[in-house]
Amino acid sequence: MKGIFTALMCSFDEKGKINEKGLREIVRYNIDQSKVDGLYVNGSTGENFLISTEQKKQIFEIVKDEAGDQIKLIAQVGALNIDEAVELARFATDLKYDAISAVTPFYYKFDFEEIKDYYNTILENVDNQMIIYSIPALTGVSMNLEQFGELFENEKVIGVKFTAPDFFLLERIRHAFPEKLIYSGFDEMLLSASVLNVDGAIGSTFNVNGQRAKQIFELAQKGQLAEAREIQKVTNDLISEILENGLYQTIKEILKTKGVDAGVCRKPMKALTDEKIQKAKQIAEKYV
């Protein structure tokens, strides 16, 4: 379960329906071209919080059918509705996903005991292993070292996707819990996290930049930091241009230049203007 995991995009048509052919092509591109170690399915990058429970299940099914056992699969099942989270966790487990993951419950100001109960409730209902998804900037939930430790007391909790720029906390978690899987969640900080000996990374830009991400991670493990820095610099140039043009929409347009039917983003995300579509093509030509 170590290495580079793509936070998988999903292809949608103009009506917001899943484009199965396009989704399969995205999966294949990540396996055959990017050669990543795994896929993180139905996370933020997959527009998970904009789709129905049935659509989430459909995505889990299509991805598992296309990927088979060629690559490790993590199913993000987190939802504000705990019953939905449990239902999705059972569904992904029945499909033989290698692990489940769940974003911390958000919107309402849940205290830590409620957050811990949320994870334990999911895990009481499935025979699978859990990766906590911590992304304070989007959920408003920040946890300290002791709280991560309490979550890790559940033996089914095997690690965390750590999407925060707090490298002090990241180092403390790594040192305190050497047996747990720690994934970096910020693509632009991959090298910095790798130096702290994380076990891998999960990122949206890996859909189009997976090979560079693997190089950064592997070079850092070998102590070849100068080489890794050069690749991180190019990666961050790419990320900067993608962010300026529109994150998810631009990644989809880049995939299209590679023959992948990546579709469009669901509303309320807006479509790219013709000018930005041309910019995405220029980014692809320059970096991908």
Phi (first) and psi of residue 167, to 5 degrees: -75, -20
Helix (H, G, I), strand (E, B) or coil at 126: coil
Return the ∠ at Cα 165 (arms to 107 and 222), rounded to 5°.
135
Phi (first) and psi of residue 73, to 5 degrees: -125, 130
Name the active-site residue from 161, 180, 214, 279.
161
Residue 287 a catalytic site member = no
Catalogue the E-assigned strands of the chain: 3-7, 38-41, 72-76, 99-103, 130-134, 157-162, 181-184, 200-203
Residue 161 a catalytic site member = yes
Name the active-site residue from 29, 133, 183, 248.
133
User: Binding site: which residues?
Assistant: 44-45, 163, 185, 187-188, 202, 204
User: Binding site for aceneuramate: which residues?
Assistant: 44-45, 163, 185, 187-188, 204
Q: Centre a 10 Å sphere on the Cβ of residue 139 and count the other Cβ atoms it contains.
A: 18
For residue 259, what are the CA distances in angstroms to 28, 68, 76, 150? 11, 22, 27, 46
- Give CA–CA dist 219/37, Å, rounded: 16
Which residues are tagged catalytic?
Answer: 133, 161
